């Protein structure tokens, strides 16, 4: 498996989403090829990435010349222009790009992308909306990593009802269906904590469960 620093990423479409993906990958030490048809957007990212091109990504010849077809992973961030997004994905697949990730404007667009063989379809606005709603529903919410359609790994701040009690006493799995995977405490991480571990004020719990289970737990 290649290290991130050895991988080449392509980002097509440098709107807000594409710009931040390209910038963050580059800051992480990856080689990034970024392109957009808008010269101003390319100019903004040019000093931050390995290569940046003004081009029409629906043009197969332009894609080849940019070198983006040689990337390990290409992110297509042109969700608004569905026709262009589909055409670009088709051409990337035909050019043999190993992994294609594409932003979808709506569920129908997403289904088409999946049928075209896109490795991962993302819905930035939907995902942000869900995350915001979960942060409002779940008390002490910090972070969420979805796993499948129902379950997520959540980070929540320990709250008063848990302080001073052991995981065995709390029995969160039996009472709420929630599993405690780890406890973040100051600068340390207790992975797979024992049942005798007490929850202390300031702890951050890393737990596995559904949104409904976390709402019940944090509402007690």
Q: Is 61 exposed, middle or buried (0-12, 13-18, 19+ CB in 10 A)?
A: exposed
- How do residues 96-136 score in pLDDT, each as one tens digit? 999 999 999 888 999 999 999 999 999 888 888 888 888 88
Contact 86, 112 (CB under 8 A): yes
CATH code at 127-218: 3.30.70.1450
Q: Which fold has domain 4-122?
A: Rossmann fold (3.40.50)
34 three-state secondary structure: strand
Region 57-72: mean pLDDT is 90
What pLDDT, in 10s, does the model give residues 7-53?
Answer: 899 999 999 999 999 999 998 888 999 999 999 999 999 999 999 99
Residue 3 pLDDT more than 60? no
Q: Give the pLDDT of residue 28.
A: 85
Segment 144-171 shows an average pLDDT of 90
Beta carbons of 79 and 104 less than 8 angstroms apart: yes
Whole-angstrom Cα distance, residue 18 to residue 84? 15
Helix (H) or strand (E) holding 135: helix 124-137
Q: What is the distance between the alpha carbons of residues 22 and 12, in angstroms, rounded to a whole number?
A: 9
d(CA 52, CA 44): 10
Q: Considering the entire predicted model, what is its pTM?
A: 0.70
Annotated domain spans of the chain? 4-122, 127-218
């Amino acid at each position: 498996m290649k290290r991130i620093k050895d991988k080449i990423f392509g980002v097509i479409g440098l709107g807000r989403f594409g710009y931040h993906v390209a910038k963050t990958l580059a800051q992480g030490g990856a080689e990034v090829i970024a392109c957009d048809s808008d010269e101003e957007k390319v100019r903004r990212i040019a000093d931050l990435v390995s290569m940046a091109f003004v081009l029409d990504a629906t043009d197969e010849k332009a894609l080849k010349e940019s070198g983006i077809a040689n990337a390990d992973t290409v992110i297509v961030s042109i969700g608004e222009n569905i026709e262009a997004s589909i055409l670009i994905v088709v051409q990337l697949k035909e050019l043999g790009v190993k992994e294609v990730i594409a932003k979808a404007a709506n569920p129908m667009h997403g289904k088409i992308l999946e049928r075209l063989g896109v490795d991962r379809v993302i819905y930035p606005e939907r995902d942000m909306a869900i995350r915001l709603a979960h942060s409002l529903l779940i008390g002490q919410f910090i972070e969420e990593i979805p796993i499948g359609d129902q379950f997520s790994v959540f980070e929540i701040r320990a709250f008063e009802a848990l302080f001073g009690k052991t995981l065995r006493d709390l029995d969160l799995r039996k009472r709420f269906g929630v599993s405690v995977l780890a406890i973040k405490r100051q600068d340390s991480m207790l992975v797979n904590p024992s049942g005798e571990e007490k929850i202390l004020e300031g702890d951050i719990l890393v737990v596995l469960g559904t949104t409904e289970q976390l709402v019940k737990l944090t509402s007690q």
